[in-house]
Structure 1
């Protein structure tokens, strides 16, 4: 089963107005007609809307010496088929998010993310946009981070949303360590606000050593070290991101909430309705 893009006005053409949305990233049938897969494993879905204005205003990173901060996040329950909706955007010094591209994909696997990011990269190259991605803010989504590094290079810094780190940490602070919760969260906050690597390493050694004196924190310490210090999700401190930029993905999630409220009206629709 395939879904079709309903109008050729939704496709790019050379004289398109810069504010007119168009779709890209989709597959084509034997006649070159755009189609969207059913979402099955052997019939995947890729369809990404944007505008020329959004691309040119927000993907040109030369105005910040290519140190811009980009974000990616997914939201769900917008379509009956439960396809994830991706939002790719860029934040500024005011912590405002500028949406650039939306994306409906079959599922959150590395292949889907690679096609999403490579399609954006190729589109920017096609339009001569000076797009260099060095920092990506996201949740602990391994498929996304693998795709980011595959498309934009192994030296991309994948930043962990500090809000989600805290949310996950709180889930691992069970009733047995309730009396130590404020101490632990305060320690993690101190690590987050370190301004350079040397300060962070010194403070980290001090805090881990302190935790080791509490038998109740043995299991939590093991979790925290393995998940937030020794894994790929270790970039959640202030000094790990461009100075002055956001430390969370909350602004992106706020836009996802608005999409559900104002466009989907908290109701699941078909893929065509979502488009």
Structure 2
């Protein structure tokens, strides 16, 4: 229980439940605390002993006999005594230790245009305030694949340069001399990081330094706190329009009118100055979709999700000693190596999109507009059999005062943020989107960013495809239980109505016969 990070009070309560001990038979909480502290210091490296930390790092040192999934340390040299020289955390000797495995490093042994390289820093993992730098790549489904973790004492330009240099060095050693080449790099809006990325990768790589779009929106939203809701929503919509620009020329055409419209409002003049100065003319202006192929990550969300995993599954949101943190991060690298994780080179539909298509089909918000073979339009247009016209009618939204924003009417699993939902119908032709099933492509802006959209999924379902993999199934002609129940209900109602009509008809006929006989009798 100590190795799993349980608190002394929880361990004491667990002893009482497991062994059925009474209060007098249990050790005191102070005794349990002493035992946990002593055991942790001797066996789990929970102490500040510098020599013991060096011994631990030395035991994890990289060597040619290390297996593909065993974690090892790197990024340091040995001193005159043969011990690791990792620094002591001072300004003169910064602390730096890298942790990884061979399998994690080989994730990047592929075409540099097939991934985005991410570098992010996470905090609050140890008791001495040392940040941890996370390096990895994301695939076309925006899934994160870890490469290495670095524990460092400072965030300096030289530290970032050393991190990237050591990462390239160990990658070349593991891959048999192959160089780590990147095409797209995404990191924080810090000049120190950008300068060192250019310094390390710029010598032999032609790469694009991307800016996290979520970081842009978070900073803009922070500046809009004192702005009325109407103006704030307009600014956010304008920024999203710039983000979804299809090319550099389209972006240049849009940005000037948008900034001019902001100047028309007195409360927005200073917002225009901030936005233009920080996100238009600065070195961190590449936050638009057109800088990367469709489907690739435009935010640091993949690595942010991994940072959350470290804190939830390994550190348990507790600040540890450096020795303990080193072992926990080494375990993390080992677990990521043995966990099967496929690098995806083609997009996949998310659960949200599948749920959204299912809900929209039920409410007729997605309609196939391809003319049938018996129509005149089919004879005049002679459509391509691989092209399906899909009309998206959008989804109604309701405003929730308690949340201060609107929400789509529909299941929670199918709801989408207002500006992303707007991109599904923005610029839609009168007859709907033309979806090409030979390439699984669509002309909507949502597809332009994510390489998949509800229109493509809907068109594939119309043509009896199982998904984006190109496999087909037989046409499903079964009637759902709800439709069958409705049909039976209608049939029963029809039979009942017919019986009533026959009854009244027979009664009327009898009444007519009776009256005729009475008339003859009177005559």
Task: Tell me the TM-score range normalised by the shorter chain.
Answer: over 0.9
**Structural mapping, 1:158-173, within 5 Å:** 158-173=209-224
Q: CA deviation at 1:224?
A: 0.3
Greater C-alpha radius of gyration: 2
Matched, 1:11 2:64: no
Shift of 1:7: 5.8
Higher relative contact order (CA 8 A, sep 6+): 1
For residues 96-127 of structure 1, the C-alpha deviation after alignment (integer angstroms, 9 at most, x for no partner) is: 00011001111111111100001011122223
Question: Is the 2:194–2:209 Cα contact (8 Å) retained in structure 1?
Answer: yes
The CA distance in 1 between the partners of 2:211 and 2:228, in whole Å, is 25
Match of 1:123 among 166, 170, 173: 170
Which structure shows the bigger proportion of residues in strand conformation?
Answer: 1
Q: Which residue of structure 1 lines up, in the alignment, with residue 278 of structure 2? A: 227
Q: What SS does the aligned partner of 2:196 have?
A: helix
Aligned mates of 1:218, 1:235 — CA distance in 2: 23
Contact 1:85 1:102 in 2 (8 A): yes
Q: Deviations over 1:8-55 (max 9, x none)?
A: 441111121010111100243222321432211012011000111111
Partner SS state of residue 100, structure 1: strand
Range with greater deviation from structure 2 (224-233 or 209-218): 209-218
Check whether the contact 2:62–2:73 (CA below 8 A) recurs between aligned residues.
yes
Residue in structure 1 matched with residue 262 of structure 2 by the alignment: 211
Q: Find 1:91's aligned residue among 117, 138, 153.
A: 138
Which residue is equivalent to 1:139? 188
Q: Which segments of 5 or more consecutive residues in structure 2 lack a partner in the other structure?
A: 1-48, 327-523
Mean Cα deviation higher: 223-232 or 121-130: 121-130
Q: How many residues align?
A: 272
**2:197 alignment partner in structure 1:** 148
CA-atom RMSD, angstroms? Answer: 1.7
CA distance in 2, matches of 1:176, 1:55: 47
Change (3 A) 1:257 1:228: same
Match of 2:516 in 1: none
Matches within 5 A, 1:6-85: 6=56, 8-56=58-106, 58-62=107-111, 66-85=113-132
Q: Retained in 2: the 8 A contact 1:59–1:130? A: no
> Is the 1:69–1:242 contact (alpha carbons within 8 Å) kept by the matching residues of 2?
no
Q: Which runs of 4+ in 1 moved over 6 A?
A: none
**Residue 177 (structure 1) shift:** 4.2
1:179 to 218, 230, 235: 230
Task: Report Cα offsets for 1:152-173 as digits up to 9, x if no partner.
Answer: 0074311111111100001111
Q: TM-score, normalised by structure 2?
A: 0.50
| Conserved? CA contact 1:70–1:89, under 8 Å | yes
2:321 maps to 270
Question: Which moves more between the two structures, 100-109 or 5-14?
Answer: 5-14
Of the candidates 105, 113, 125, which is equivalent to residue 160 of structure 2?
Answer: 113
Matched, 1:191 2:226: no
SS of residue paired to 2:99: strand
- Whether the aligned pair in 1 keeps the contact of 2:114 and 2:140 (CA below 8 Å) is no
